[in-house]
Chains A and B, each alone.
Chain A
Amino acid sequence: GDSVTQMEGPVTLSEEAFLTINCTYTATGYPSLFWYVQYPGEGLQLLLKATKADDKGSNKGFEATYRKETTSFHLEKGSVQVSDSAVYFCALRPHGGTSYGKLTFGQGTILTVHP
């Protein structure tokens, strides 16, 4: 079945540091890929997405590129802020059929940014 693997956390950075959170996936066909963010005490918010190979999703300074050859969707940000402290989830959604509402998530990566 489908699966998503994220890098082990937690990740602790200083403000303005470069961030990479690795995500790899296993799926048949051509899934859509997502990064969700969960701030303390809140639900999940969509951060960015990519629906086909070589697409780059971007939002709030975060970027991720859909790499089919390496089955990866790594999240990057050039300069993190304290307000980026949250849990980040990589997820995939299968293509087509009745699968549009079904997401498979990675285990989540806790990011803490210090001033």
Chain B
Amino acid sequence: NAGVTQTPKFQVLKTGQSMTLQCAQDMNHEYMSWYRQDPGMGLRLIHYSVGAGITDQGEVPNGYNVSRSTTEDFPLRLLSAAPSQTSVYFCASSPTEGTVNFGPGTRLTVT
């Protein structure tokens, strides 16, 4: 198993640009989620999904969209990037009652 994979590893955007962070898992996990990591603030939940076709907002959802058309994929879309979205983004997946597995992260800089 490849586990949880994320692309790209690094990205630089200009303010106002849009992009999609990709996340995929090959473990047939029901639950997938996106977190952002900022210095001194730990990880904060952006959006999560409990299965294909079902998504919900986390703690910091503004400026981000998600969809879950398949069990494997859970892309995160930035519609109009802002400097406040400069962060490291982690995708995660877990089975019911199982361990949450994290991807390697995407480091995003918005100038």
Contacts and interface: CB of A to CB of B under 8 A. Distances in A.
Interface residues of B, number: 30
Given A43-B90, A107-B41, A102 B33 contact: yes
Contacts of A102: 33, 45, 48, 58
A49 B41 contact: no
Contact of A100 (B31, B41, B43): B31
Interface in A86-107: 89, 91, 93, 98, 100-107
B33 A49 contact: no
A113 B40 CA distance: 20
Contacts of B100: 34, 46, 93, 101, 103
Candidate in A6, A36, A100, A104 with the most chain B CB atoms within 10 angstroms = A100
B58 A107 contact: no
Interface in A1-56: 4, 6, 34, 36, 42-46, 49
B94 A100 contact: yes
The contact size tier of chain A is 20 to 34
Q: Decide if the interface of chain A is mainly helix, strand, loop or mixed.
A: strand
A25 to B, nearest CB: 13
A103 B43 contact: yes
Contacts of B94: 100-101
A43 B102 contact: yes
Interface string B63-103: 00000000000000000000000000010111011111111
A101 B32 contact: yes
Contact of A101 (B44, B50, B103): B50
Interface of B: 30-33, 35, 40-45, 48-50, 56, 58, 90, 92-94, 96-105
